[in-house]
């Protein structure tokens, strides 16, 4: 019961999400559905699992007006980023990466045999709404 003694049940304090579903992102990768507006009512964030297959890569993109944080659990990932995707970062397990809003980027898995697994957090609770594809930069990654 609510503290005021009314008949309306109290709002839930927490929402458990079982990792069971995946979805295809505009970026060309498969994501493990985690926390987002559609399944928890989140208003300011999303949290998902990403597995990039050996030799896999995303399409060049940015997230309009939203920040992204990435934690690499296993494998290796290369992230091309910035104007013309001229920047290059090599991630190893245990690395964290911050991508500011509106920064072009393209993650890829340089391994021929190992899956790259990462946890992604973004300030967009609808996750895919802020994705802007940049096809003019796709050829930069080869």
pTM here is 0.87
What are the tens digits of pLDDT across the range 42-53? 999 999 999 999
CA nearest 31: which of 58, 9, 54?
58
What are the tens digits of pLDDT across the range 59-107? 999 999 999 999 999 999 999 999 999 999 999 999 999 999 999 999 9
The verdict on residue 38 lying in a domain is: yes
The verdict on residue 99 lying in a domain is: yes
Instruction: Count how many domains the chain has.
Output: 1
- CATH number, domain at 31? 2.60.120.10
Give the model's pLDDT for residue 8: 57
Strand ranges, E, within the chain? 22-24, 30-35, 46-52, 61-63, 68-74, 77-81, 87-91, 96-99, 105-108, 116-122, 131-133
The verdict on residue 6 lying in a domain is: no
Alpha-carbon distance of 106 to 13, in angstroms, equals 36
What are the tens digits of pLDDT across the range 101-112? 999 999 999 999
- Residue 76 Cα to chain centre, angstroms: 16
Domain hosting residue 118, numbered range: 22-137
DSSP type of residue 136: G
């Amino acid at each position: 019961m609510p503290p005021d003694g009314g008949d309306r049940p109290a709002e839930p304090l927490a929402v458990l999400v079982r990792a069971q579903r995946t979805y295809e992102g505009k970026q060309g990768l498969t994501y493990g559905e985690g926390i987002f507006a559609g399944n928890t009512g989140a208003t300011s964030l999303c949290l998902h699992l990403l597995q990039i297959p050996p030799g896999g890569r995303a399409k060049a993109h940015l997230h309009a007006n939203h920040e992204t944080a990435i934690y690499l659990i296993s494998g290796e990932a290369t992230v091309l980023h910035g104007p013309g995707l001229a920047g290059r970062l090599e991630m190893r397990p245990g690395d964290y990466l911050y991508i500011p809003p509106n920064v072009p980027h393209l993650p890829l898995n340089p391994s021929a045999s190992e899956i790259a697994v990462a946890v992604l957090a973004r300030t967009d609770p609808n996750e895919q709404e802020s994705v802007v594809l940049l096809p003019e930069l796709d050829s930069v990654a080869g």
